[in-house]
């Protein structure tokens, strides 16, 4: 029987009870206490004896609720572990549950939920078990000198790349070109710089172990995955690794090169709430419980590691956009909510998470060096649906030299 892992234990009931105990309840308690303190401050010294009694009762009630939630969480964890032993396998649902848990909230929440950090792993299509680089030759006996590596985005796993009855998945399209297809899985709650370093090391190991030698590497990154690829390339170049020399093309799918407007809005809201009053401060602290990976989406590319406490400053991460790899061709795909490009919804929200300018690396105050030479494709699809659009499938076919309908550039 296979030993169970943390990835197999995470379920929605466990994540929900941990979030209620670790995140929601302290926020409600903090707001309640701030309102009470403000009220009794208006009453003045005559109300202090009553305030002490009220505070004691309030703290007791919240402690009781916290204890109840802790007990429920422990019961859910034991039940989940027993079911995991009985089933003996990792389901796609549990992998997705874990991906959401480690990607959404901070490290303290992950510890309380029993979610340990997992290393970045490599996978073949249709297999959840990791593939060790030293097993590449045995697992890919017919591999050519060309490989396509796909890197998923925030709160996702490699299951993101599955296709539908109407549109085949990008791995199937890549395999149709004769290239070997490898999928990367990683914890998206970690800082982009950590995942970038892990990807750089993983790709260097792959290049060294590739049967017959790796001649051409095509990288495909969705959303955060594009930022991880960019950071990995910079890290590898600094370390004079060999694999960047094999990269011919990089496909960026809705990658926030200049940041996500949604993360910027959440950060500004949290920063304001923390400073507005004692009553709103707990709400700001609640928003700041999001993961370091999400905070790295604020301004896009992260040029260098930074202290964890720096992430909550108003302009943390702002700076010149780091360049893309100059020796590779870059293909930039942006989405939009409404079919009409100039519709107000597109101007305000882009694809719901990323504005088209950010996906193309072109903004009013910042621009990614080399963005003018990149090929851009605008797709009438939201952020979550973009991966499965036929236009994106056609772009990958074109990159890999397969017959495809002409694609309009912007």
| CA 157 – CA 118 distance, rounded (Å) | 12
Say how far apart CA 266 and CA 283 lie, in whole Å. 11
Distances (CA, A) of 135 to 132, 214, 234: 5, 15, 27
Residue 342 — φ and ψ, nearest 5°? -95, 15
pLDDT band, residue 176 (cuts 50/70/90): very high
Nearest Cα to 392, choosing from 348, 358, 359? Answer: 359
Token pair listed for 202: 């993983």
Structure pTM?
Answer: 0.87
Mean pLDDT, rounded, of the chain: 86
Q: Please, which pLDDT band fits residue 9 given cuts at 50, 70 and 90?
A: very low
Q: What is the C-alpha to C-alpha distance for residues 359 and 334, in angstroms, rounded to an integer?
A: 5
Mean local confidence (pLDDT), 329-353: 95
Mean pLDDT computed over 324-333: 95
For residues 33 and 58, is the Cβ–Cβ distance under 8 A?
yes
Pairing of strands 216-222, 180-185: unpaired
The pLDDT value recorded for residue 380 is: 96
The architecture of the domain spanning 121-259+319-399 is 3-Layer(aba) Sandwich (3.40)
Q: What is the pLDDT of residues 346-378, one digit of tens each?
A: 999 999 999 999 999 999 889 999 888 999 999
User: Is 399 a residue whose pLDDT tops 70?
Assistant: yes
Closest CA to 225 of 161, 309, 164: 161
- Return d(Cα 373, Cα 356) in angstroms, integer: 16
Q: What is the mean predicted confidence (pLDDT) over 139-161? A: 95
> Bridge-partner residues for 334, per DSSP?
378
Alpha-carbon gap, residue 304 to 320, rounded angstroms: 12
The pLDDT of residue 164 is 80
Transcribe 225-267 into DSSP letters: HHHHHHHHHHHHHHTT-SGGGGEEEEEEES--TT--HHHHHHH
Per-residue pLDDT at 87 exceeds 90: no
C-alpha of 63 from chain center: 34
How crowded is residue 366: how many other Cβ atoms within 10 Å of its Cβ?
19
Q: Which residue has the tokens 């719901």?
A: 352
The answer to whether 281 and 273 have CB atoms below 8 angstroms apart is yes
Q: pLDDT (tens digit, 9 = 90+) per residue, 267-320? A: 999 999 999 999 999 999 999 999 999 999 999 876 555 565 565 677 777 788
Q: How far apart are CA 259 and CA 158, in angstroms?
A: 23
* Predicted local confidence at residue 310, as pLDDT: 60
């Amino acid at each position: 029987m296979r030993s169970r892992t943390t990835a197999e234990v995470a379920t929605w009931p466990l994540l929900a009870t941990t979030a209620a105990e670790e995140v929601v309840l302290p926020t409600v308690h903090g707001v309640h206490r701030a309102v009470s303190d403000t009220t009794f401050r208006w009453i003045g010294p005559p109300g202090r004896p009553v305030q002490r009694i009220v505070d004691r009762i309030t703290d007791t009630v919240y402690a009781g609720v916290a204890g109840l939630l802790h007990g429920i969480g422990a019961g859910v964890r034991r039940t989940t572990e027993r079911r995991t032993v009985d089933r003996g396998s990792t389901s796609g649902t549990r992998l997705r549950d874990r991906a959401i848990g480690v990607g959404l909230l901070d490290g303290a929440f992950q510890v309380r939920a029993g979610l340990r950090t997992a290393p970045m792993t490599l996978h073949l299509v249709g297999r959840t078990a990791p593939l060790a680089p030293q097993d590449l030759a045995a697992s890919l006996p017919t591999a050519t000198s060309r490989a396509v590596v796909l890197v998923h985005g925030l709160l996702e796993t490699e299951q993101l790349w599955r296709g539908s009855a109407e549109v085949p998945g990008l791995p199937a399209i890549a395999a149709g070109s004769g290239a070997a297809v490898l999928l990367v899985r990683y914890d998206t709650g970690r800082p982009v710089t950590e995942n970038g370093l892990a990807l750089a090391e993983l790709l260097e190991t792959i290049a060294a172990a590739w049967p017959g030698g790796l001649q051409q590497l095509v990288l495909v990154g969705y959303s955060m995955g594009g930022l991880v690829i960019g950071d990995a390339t910079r890290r590898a170049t600094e370390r004079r690794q060999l694999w960047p020399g094999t990269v011919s093309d990089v496909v960026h799918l809705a990658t926030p090169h200049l940041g996500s407007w949604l993360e910027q809005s959440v950060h500004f809201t949290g920063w304001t709430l923390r400073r507005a009053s004692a009553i709103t401060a707990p709400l700001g602290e609640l928003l700041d419980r999001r993961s370091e990976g999400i905070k790295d989406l604020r301004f896009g590319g992260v040029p260098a590691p930074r202290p964890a406490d720096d992430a909550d400053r108003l302009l943390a991460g702002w700076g010149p956009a780091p360049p893309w790899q100059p020796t590779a061709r870059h293909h930039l795909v942006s989405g939009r909510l409404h079919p009409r490009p100039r519709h107000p919804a597109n101007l305000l929200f882009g694809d719901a998470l990323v504005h088209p300018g950010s996906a193309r690396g072109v903004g009013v105050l910042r621009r990614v060096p080399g963005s003018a030479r990149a090929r851009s494709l605008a797709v009438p699809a939201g952020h979550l649906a973009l991966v499965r659009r036929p236009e994106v499938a056609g772009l990958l076919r074109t990159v890999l030299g397969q017959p495809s309908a002409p694609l309009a550039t912007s």
